[in-house]
């Protein structure tokens, strides 16, 4: 009989993202978060315009659990876009602060945003190494 496990508390905390959000700032459009059946993965569907280019894709967010190995500690994701790119991230929610690391946790490329008290907005910015980045706000629709 296989062992029973549950989605991690860190993943469950991302429940606050479930729903559809209007995105403004350096990228404009909508993103929608929904749980995959079973609750072990959060799916994000993206329909944005960034730097004048469409960005559409699907992100799968959860804890890695390779065959025969223990569940990974970090909440990681892979984003697949319509241009064939794959991008990896690490999600971390501490209190009302959401950090999305580009690549590995602690990366110099990241998004850091803060949930409003009523949970209807997340306001922050993307930071890139060597400068750049842009403000980004999500508003629940």
Per-residue pLDDT, averaged over 121-139, amounts to 95
Q: Where are the domains of the chain?
A: 9-140
Q: What is the percent of the chain where pLDDT is above 70?
A: 97
113 touches 138 (CB < 8 A): yes
* CATH code reported for the domain at 9-140: 2.40.128.20
The encoded tokens of residue 99 equal 């950090």
pLDDT in tens, 20-61: 999 999 999 999 999 999 999 999 999 999 999 999 999 999
pTM of the model: 0.94
Q: Which residue has the higher pLDDT, 131 or 90?
A: 90
What are the distances in angstroms from CA 116 to CA 6, 21, 51, 67, 95?
Answer: 29, 14, 27, 39, 11
pLDDT in tens, 1-23: 455 789 999 999 999 999 999 99
* Res. 106: pLDDT tops 90: yes
Which pLDDT score is estimated for 131? 85
Residue ranges of E strands in 17-130: 19-25, 27-35, 41-50, 53-63, 75-81, 86-94, 97-102, 110-115, 121-127
Phi, psi of 104, rounded to the nearest 5 degrees = -85, 155
Which pLDDT score is estimated for 132? 85
Which pLDDT score is estimated for 55? 95
Which pLDDT score is estimated for 1? 42
Which pLDDT score is estimated for 36? 98
Which residue in 97, 136, 141 sits closest to 116, CA to CA? 97
Partners of 90 in the β-ladder: 76, 101
């Amino acid at each position: 009989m296989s062992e029973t496990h549950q989605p991690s508390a860190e993943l469950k905390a991302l429940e606050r993202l479930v729903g559809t959000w209007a995105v403004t700032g350096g990228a404009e459009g909508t993103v929608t978060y929904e749980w995959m059946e079973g609750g072990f993965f959060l799916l994000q569907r993206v329909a944005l315009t960034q730097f004048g280019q469409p960005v559409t894709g699907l992100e799968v967010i959860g804890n890695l659990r390779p065959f025969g190995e223990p569940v990974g500690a970090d909440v990681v994701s892979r984003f697949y876009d319509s241009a064939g790119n794959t991008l990896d991230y690490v999600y971390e929610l501490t209190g009302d602060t959401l950090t999305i690391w580009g690549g590995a946790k602690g990366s110099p490329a990241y998004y850091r945003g803060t949930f409003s008290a009523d949970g209807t907005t997340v306001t922050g910015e993307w930071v890139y190494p060597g400068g750049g980045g842009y403000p980004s706000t999500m508003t629940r629709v």
